[in-house]
A = this chain, B = another copy of it.
């Protein structure tokens, strides 16, 4: 990992080996802040979702004080999984094996007949770090989660707050199993070099100039570029009137909580990710006065990306299921008062990203299969693939940080052993 050639893809074992898969879980997914769910997925007390990360299983539940909690999904008696469903609603968390019963806060309320001296307070559910940022739930499995998250939360909140996610509901959620290493899915997400040939629906509204520096725009893309400049100017006016920050912040590497946020124009009608770019939901989010607000796009390392529009928001998060298998979850959020069939139509709302994700899944599977050949050698990133370089840099930083921490722990455990 210390010999990575900058500007080039990673070597094959990073994508293929069981060893790196396990290391990725430990050094990345169990060590950094992970986007886990929208708070709108657990709107009422007792509502929960369960998220599996590697061998971990985590319950995210809203407690009776409306606070969102996260617990390991493991009974403290004989270890049974407590909640098997991916989402639902409970009063207390009751283990189906021997009826040990926990409150949503994680306290053990009852445990059948036990020997004298049994102390219930020693058997609360093990908790997981959780933070809610402008309606987005992040968790961290580490004992000492990265401290820079608070600062990131503070900087991204003003961008997202106007979209009022706390007043949204889930209109649709789709899980896609991709046959590719999670890093290939991330790399695929971080460039649009493949969009023009690969994503006919997305390119109705996604400017094909994404990723190009102004002086690198190929001739054939000049008309699109002019359209982009005009749309950006309209977006500037609409954003200022709505007090929306638009400025790019790009800190995808060099820190534990890597992220990128930016408001940008959409092609077509400029309102939403639909086939003609028009709004998909008639009820606008928050207090916004126009749907023509392009897309507020956010990327967070290691596993999520988001688009917030005037009429809806869509979140994407991936979880590795194995070296060659990745789950991508897409969640569409609309105003909590929007009525299906009246204000929005699910197919119209979801078509562009459902198709795009399926197309990406096919491409990522080909990338994974190709890299599996011993004949693979890392190739060079094109200029439009600079965010992949950022991703790889961040990823190697995390592996190195984890190694350093592990070394310190071992040294602390006794010097020469």
A binding-site residues for B, Cβ under 8 Å = 9, 12, 30, 54-57, 72-82, 84, 96-99, 112-115, 118, 123, 126, 187, 193-194, 197-198, 212, 216, 218, 363, 366-367, 369-380, 382-384
Chain B, Cβ-Cβ closest to A384: B113
B373 A78 Cβ-Cβ under 8 A: no
User: Known contacts A55-B373, A77-B382, A79-B373; can you find 4 more A-B pairs with CB under 8 A?
Assistant: A73-B370, A79-B376, A114-B380, A118-B380
Known interface pairs A99-B197, A363-B96, A372-B55; A79-B378 also in contact (CB < 8 Å): yes
Chain B min CB distance to A168 (Å): 31
B114 A9 Cβ-Cβ under 8 A: no
Could you list some 22 contacts between A and B, CB below 8 A? Answer: A55-B372, A56-B373, A56-B374, A72-B373, A74-B371, A77-B379, A79-B376, A79-B379, A80-B363, A80-B366, A80-B367, A80-B369, A80-B370, A81-B366, A96-B198, A97-B366, A97-B367, A98-B197, A113-B382, A114-B383, A115-B382, A115-B383
B377 A218 Cβ-Cβ under 8 A: no
CA distance A187 to B80 in the complex (A): 13
B382 A56 Cβ-Cβ under 8 A: no
A97 B194 Cβ-Cβ under 8 A: yes
10 A-B pairs with the lowest CB-CB distances in the bound complex, closest first: A72-B375, A81-B370, A79-B371, A81-B369, A77-B379, A80-B370, A79-B370, A80-B366, A80-B367, A79-B376
B382 A75 Cβ-Cβ under 8 A: no
B366 A84 Cβ-Cβ under 8 A: yes
B57 A373 Cβ-Cβ under 8 A: yes
Chain B, Cβ-Cβ closest to A99: B197
A9 B115 Cβ-Cβ under 8 A: no
Query: Most chain-B CB neighbours within 10 Å: which of A78, A96, A363, A366?
Result: A78
A373 B73 Cβ-Cβ under 8 A: yes
Chain B, Cβ-Cβ closest to A221: B113
Query: Most chain-B CB neighbours within 10 Å: which of A12, A30, A79, A187?
Result: A79
Chain B, Cβ-Cβ closest to A56: B373
Residues of B within 8 A of A57 (CB): 369-370, 373
CA distance A12 to B382 in the complex (A): 46
CA distance A218 to B111 in the complex (A): 13
Residues of B within 8 A of A369 (CB): 57, 80-81, 84
Query: Most chain-B CB neighbours within 10 Å: which of A12, A194, A216?
Result: A194
A126 B77 Cβ-Cβ under 8 A: no
Residues of B within 8 A of A72 (CB): 373, 375
Chain B, Cβ-Cβ closest to A371: B79
CA distance A80 to B379 in the complex (A): 11
A78 B367 Cβ-Cβ under 8 A: yes
B79 A383 Cβ-Cβ under 8 A: no
Chain B min CB distance to A51 (Å): 12
Chain B, Cβ-Cβ closest to A375: B72
Residues of B within 8 A of A80 (CB): 363, 366-367, 369-371
Chain B min CB distance to A205 (Å): 21
Residues of B within 8 A of A216 (CB): 113
Residues of B within 8 A of A218 (CB): 113
CA distance A187 to B98 in the complex (A): 13
Chain B, Cβ-Cβ closest to A126: B375
